Amino acid sequence: MKILVAEDESTPALFLRRTLERLGHDVVVALDGMKAWELLQQGELRLVITDWMMPGLDGLELCRKIRGQGDSAYTYIILLTAREGLQDRLAGLNAGADDFLSKPTDPAELAARVAIAGRIVAMQEELERKNLQLAELATTDGLTGLKNRRCFNENLITACSFAVRYGYPLSLVMIDVDHFKSLNDSFGHPAGDSVLATLAGILRSETRDHDIVARYGGEEFAILLPATAAAEASLLAERLRSLTTSYPWPQRPITVSVGVATTGGDLATWSELLEAADRALYHSKRSGRDRITHHDSFTQDVVSHSTCDSLKA
């Protein structure tokens, strides 16, 4: 474990360093509180052993600054002190210390306290890892590995707000697999799932790292293209359509219908952009499928929900 020792006296600092290194730890020494704080900003140090009394920034203030970092990874703090009074210990705990070591420090006690710290840090790291996994699961579609609809909608709202505020174009591409229901009926749902997962891979491979690609629901996908004008978005949409059509699908040929919309003109909010892309998608459906439509290129008539549902069949 990498340990930061903050101790302004050279002899105790050397003792701590050598003892901890004999225990197999990687030790960094700071001779004052400000240097310790600087080192903490440069890299992740999960255990800090700090003296109470130091020039510039004492141990209590260092504890408070570490705890004030908020959502950063948890740092375990052992406070070195010759103070034994209850009020002093309470002051240390209130400042954010996890444990105490008496000065002068006994090597056996140091080893025991550090071992306890190591177990707690390991448990905390595992908890953080699991929390990251849960956060990823909450935003990811399990079948395709793409962002899910909830995550996509959150990104859409934010991206549209920035696009309007700063005057850059934002394009939205909506993609729907043609005749997907009949594919499931003919070959079974595992075959349909395989098509969706493969199509997700095509979409990921042809988009940029900062584009947001999501499974919007069922056989429908959505791609958010920041700083992308209508012509560029239409070219990408056509490339995706063509790649899908030419892919060697095992059961039968697969095609997609695509709708594209770009901010500007009458599209200034996320809901307007989404509605325009959706209308463009269903225009592609009504026009024969296996094609793309940009919302600027047709008369935007209203499509009823019943018509939309029948076109998906």
DSSP state of 143: T
Read off the tokens for 169: 């174009």
The residue annotated as part of the active site, out of 44, 84, 219, 275, is 219
- Cβ proximity of 78 and 47 under 8 Å: yes
What is the identity of the amino acid at 75?
Answer: T
Dihedral sign of CA atoms 294, 238, 159, 138 in order: positive
Give the side-chain half-sphere CA count within 13 A for 128: 12
DSSP state of 55: S
- Cβ proximity of 66 and 96 under 8 Å: yes
Q: Give CA–CA dist 238/233, Å, rounded.
A: 9
Per DSSP, the three-state class of 269 is coil
Q: Give CA–CA dist 160/169, Å, rounded.
A: 9
38 catalytic? Reply is no
In 135-169 the beta strands, taken as DSSP E runs, fall at none
Dihedral sign of CA atoms 113, 118, 123, 127 in order: positive
Please, is 299 exposed, middle or buried when counting C-beta atoms within 10 Å of its C-beta (0-12, 13-18, 19+)? Answer: exposed
Active site residues: 219
